[in-house]
Amino acid sequence: MGFAGAYALRVGAGMDITDQARFGIAPERLYPAEIALLMEAELGSETGDFDLACSGLRSACVREILESRLTHYQPDGTVIQDGRVDYLIHWRDLAQHIKSLGLEPIEGGALWSWVTGPIAGDSDRLAAMQLLRKEVQAKFREYWQAHPNAKIEGKSGVIDGVGKPYLDAHQCTRKTLRTWAKEIAPASATKPGRPRKTAK
């Protein structure tokens, strides 16, 4: 892997926030919506949990139950319209807040990985991510050798053909698998399908 690839891996380029957290490379401060995604990724989450978590986190920030920093920017870097604000929450403050409520995130989950912070195990997590990426990409290559016309997505694509066990085991998300597949995909896998001929 070249420098550019190593850099992209270390900053989580192409990975969603849950995988960044799981592998110890998420930012130290996250928005309530991003933290809600980590909470939603925990086993046992139900429909509607995301919205509840978002509103609960924002309410805790407004009431100063949860330490946070005001921001006028959205996660994508654009300014929030209509003079509204959002909050940035440090992993350490959220860890204390969760503990004060008598709650415990699931060990090994995305939320747990983030609130444990930059601990000594981060290098181990990064190494685990690199190994997982190599393993998945090796299986993608094998799949493409056996199915040269397979696309990345779709019913007979490599993600559904090879990636399902990784998704089922919550080892990574579909977005991360898509990024890893694109890195090694043959040209035929990224070209749009040939339009069907219409009868005259």
Single-letter residue type at 94: L
Q: In a 3-state reduction of DSSP, which class is residue 12? A: coil
Instruction: Render each residue's pLDDT in the chain as its tens digit; 200 residues.
Output: 567 766 766 666 677 888 888 877 888 899 999 999 888 876 555 556 788 888 899 999 999 999 999 998 887 788 888 878 899 999 889 988 988 888 888 777 788 888 887 654 456 666 777 778 888 888 998 999 998 888 998 888 899 888 888 887 777 788 888 888 888 888 888 765 544 444 44
Q: Which residue(s) pair with 87 in the sheet?
A: 70
Model-level pTM? 0.61
CA distance 61 to 63: 5
Q: Tell me which amino acid residue 134 is.
A: K
What single-letter DSSP state applies at residue 82?
A: G
3-state helix, strand, coil in the chain (%, to 5): 55, 5, 40
Strand order in the sheet with 29-30: 29-30, 86-90, 69-71
Report CA-CA distances (Å) from 96 to 13, 79, 88: 29, 29, 15
User: Please, what sign has the CA dihedral across residues 104, 119, 26, 15?
Assistant: negative
In DSSP terms, 9 is beta-bridged to none
